[in-house]
Amino acid sequence: MKLKVLTGVTIFQLLLAASAQAIPTTYYDIDFSTPTHNVGAAPTTGTGTDKVSSVVFGQPVVESSFGALSSESLVFNTTGNSQRCCYYDQIKLGLGKGSDRYQVLFDLSTENYVNTGSGNTFTLLFDTPEVRNIYFNNDGTIRYYNTYGPSGAIGNFTDGSLLNMMIDVSLVANT
């Protein structure tokens, strides 16, 4: 299974839009292009808006293109991941900024993922005071989970399609 995520000119932006602020603050703006990132290598980690905080598990790799994504992108691929704890790839974008609202924008494309019987799920985990997750399931459904709020199906996707995602997390509204 290959799952390509995060591509485009301003492909991954994590924005702070606190209720007291008129203009959002950009914490991450990652396009996985050179010179910061290198094709065929893990994403560059560290501080700054153009790097991921860390690679937590697995071996995500920057590729020059993938399926519907035509520019450098980060590929999450479970093939070859054999650590007992984690048969998956995971990156971290650390915040700790104390805002009440965050917005995440990214492009997503999958290949050999939907209806392959693997049982894999691509998860966006928002580890806020309460868990809020978005699941891209192996059956082609997109679902969300909110510990103390509504949960359910929000859409569908197919391999080779391009999904332009925008996720708005409000800690005040619990959504």
Question: What pLDDT digit, counting tens, does each position of 32-67 carry?
Answer: 999 999 999 999 999 888 999 988 888 889 999 888
Mean pLDDT of 111-127: 82
Instruction: Tell whether 126 is covered by a domain.
Output: no
Q: Residues 86-90: contacts with CB within 8 Å, 24+ apart?
A: 86/57, 86/58, 88/57, 88/58, 88/120, 89/55, 89/57, 89/58, 89/59, 89/60, 90/55, 90/56, 90/57, 90/58
Instruction: Tell whether 147 is covered by a domain.
Output: no
Residue 86 pLDDT more than 70? no
Instruction: Tell whether 31 is covered by a domain.
Output: yes
Block residue for tokens 């985990």: 125
**Strand, helix or coil at 83?**
coil
> Which has the higher per-residue pLDDT, 88 or 137?
137
Instruction: Tell whether 139 is covered by a domain.
Output: no
Q: How far apart are CA 7 and CA 26, in angstroms?
A: 17
Block residue for tokens 């989970």: 145
> Which has the higher per-residue pLDDT, 102 or 2?
102
Instruction: Tell whether 66 is covered by a domain.
Output: yes
Instruction: Tell whether 142 is covered by a domain.
Output: no
Instruction: Tell whether 128 is covered by a domain.
Output: no
Give the burial class of 12: count Cβ atoms within 10 A of its Cβ; 0-12 exposed, 13-18 middle, 19 or more buried.
buried
- The whole-chain average pLDDT of the chain stands at 79
Structural domain count of the chain: 1
Residue 10 pLDDT more than 70? no
Instruction: Tell whether 97 is covered by a domain.
Output: yes
pTM of the full structure: 0.79
Enclosing domain of residue 106: 2-115+159-170
Question: Hey, how many other C-beta atoms are within 10 angstroms of the C-beta on 172?
Answer: 9
3-state secondary structure 106-141: EEEEEECCCCCCCCCEEEEEEECCCEEEEEEECCCE
Q: What is the pLDDT of residue 159?
A: 92
Cβ contacts of 85 within 8 Å, gap of 6 or more: 57
